[in-house]
Amino acid sequence: MTGMSAVMVMARMAAVTAVTAVTFVTSVLLPGTAAVATALSHPYDRDDDDPDSAYGYGFDGDARSAEPAKGTADAVRLHPGTTYRSSLTGRGKAYYRLELDATSTTYVSVTAVPRPGAAPASGDGISVSVQNADGVGCSYDSVTTGASRSPQPITAWAAREIQPGLGLCQEAGTYYVVVERTGTGTGTGTGTESDRPWDLELVPVSEPPLEKAGATGVPETWNSATPAPLVAEPVPRRGGSGFAGATALSQGVWSDDLAPGQTLFYKVPVGWGQQVYATVDLDSADQDTGFVVPALDMTLYNPVRAEVVHTSAGYGGRQTSTSLAPVPPVRYTNRYAPTDPADSLRFAGSYYLVLHLSAQVAESFGDGPYGLRLRVRVDGAAGRAGPGYAGQPVPRDVFDAGAREPARAPGGTVAAGEGGGTAMRAVAVGGIGTGSALLLVLGVWTVTARRRTSAQIRANAQNPTA
């Protein structure tokens, strides 16, 4: 080997060693960098093997187990501010217990989740009621999976409400939450859908009374006109798989993707006196033969997960759009309205937008996923004072509309750096650390390689036959 060849080999070895060292430093000093980069390369990837995400439901990771009781004697007590996970089997009832004072209103929402692959009938669903110790019903609600027969999370709620003139359920004491399956199922006998358990997520919330009694009349006029949907470049924002993991949005245009059978959850802060509007656009498929109705569902829930308003659209493979009907501003006195949706718009806080694409879409148009754009508008001044509670709600921030609101950029979209979440912050910090490490390692190995090359050249000059 000639002297010059030896020099070239040593230089190449130094370069390879430098790359190896850089890789080692990056993997040891910054173990999360590769994972962050992968997440950003595939912003819509979801773990289909996780039953609590993707096409399942994302239960609250802090939820406590609550064994369903077949009667009141063994009913487990539910505490406001704590989320519970339970189940409902067959056509029986499940009982849970509340111990309530004579001043606070208590709400209990129940989200039922059919098992993946289930085929519920159009009337299959759940009912939820709150009853006093004498078996008198305080309130009742029911919900079904809908005409599409697409298995999806469904939510019903009930309450023990303190309100002048109600008469019943105003006293302190023991109350019971009663959850029951409704409908006929898809058959009878062991192993049919009617026998399979549905998982439940129960969330009790306590609302304190007012410091001073206020008006009990509901304003008769409000802006019921439908505003033009926002027009802006959509910002990618991946939806959550459950209420607990709902993705926070502010006013703006957002993009995501949605697969048949999947449900996405978002939350929008809505303050006192504000109105919320939403429109969802679903992209076209590769073909436009066939038709699924209903195909795309969008439901608005209030901070205690009570349904406010719902809309749906059929799908024939071409792009389609649907909007929520206009709803009144959020006001404390809305609770005195005789019917929904005004009755549900009774407090500020995070309002949930829940989107579901029917599993039947896959049969006609393919597995997708299908692109969507969610246009969210919140009208009215933010930061208005609340009604003046004589205490704290439980959980404490349930009626807080401002603490989690992302910053906005001009046009109503999230400002740069605010919408990327933890991954973007990790890249920013990791990028600085990685850059410094790369510069340091490359500098050291470049100097070393140059020194070795110079030394070899000098040795060759002194000994030409080497």
Query: Is the backbone peptide bond immediately before 387 cis, with ω within 30 degrees of 0?
Result: no
DSSP one-letter string for 38-92 = HHHHSTT---TT-TTSTTS----TTPEE-PPBSSGGGPEEP-TT--EEEEE-TT-
DSSP one-letter string for 379-429 = ES-S------BSS--BSTTTT-SSTTPPPB-TTSSBPTTTSSHHHHHHHHH
Least confident piece of the model among 223-232, 344-353, 410-419 = 410-419
Model confidence, pTM? 0.77
Ordered by start, the domain boundaries in the chain are 3-31+424-462, 62-207, 224-417
Structural class in CATH, domain 224-417: mainly beta
Q: Give the residue-averaged pLDDT of 114-143.
A: 90
224-417 has the same fold as 62-207 = yes
Whether residue 118 is predicted with pLDDT greater than 70 in this model: the reply is: yes
Q: Regarding the domain delimited by 62-207, which CATH topology (the fold level of the hierarchy) does it fall under?
A: Jelly Rolls (2.60.120)
pLDDT digits (tens, 9 = 90+) for 414-447: 433 333 333 333 333 334 344 444 333 334 344 4
Query: What is the reported pLDDT for 343?
Result: 94
pLDDT digits (tens, 9 = 90+) for 3-46: 444 434 444 444 444 434 433 333 333 333 333 232 222 222 33
pLDDT digits (tens, 9 = 90+) for 45-55: 334 334 444 45
Give percent above pLDDT 70 in the chain. 72
* CA gap 115, 151 in Å, rounded: 8
**How open is the CA angle 185-191-196, to the nearest 5 degrees?**
60
Query: What is the reported pLDDT for 349?
Result: 97
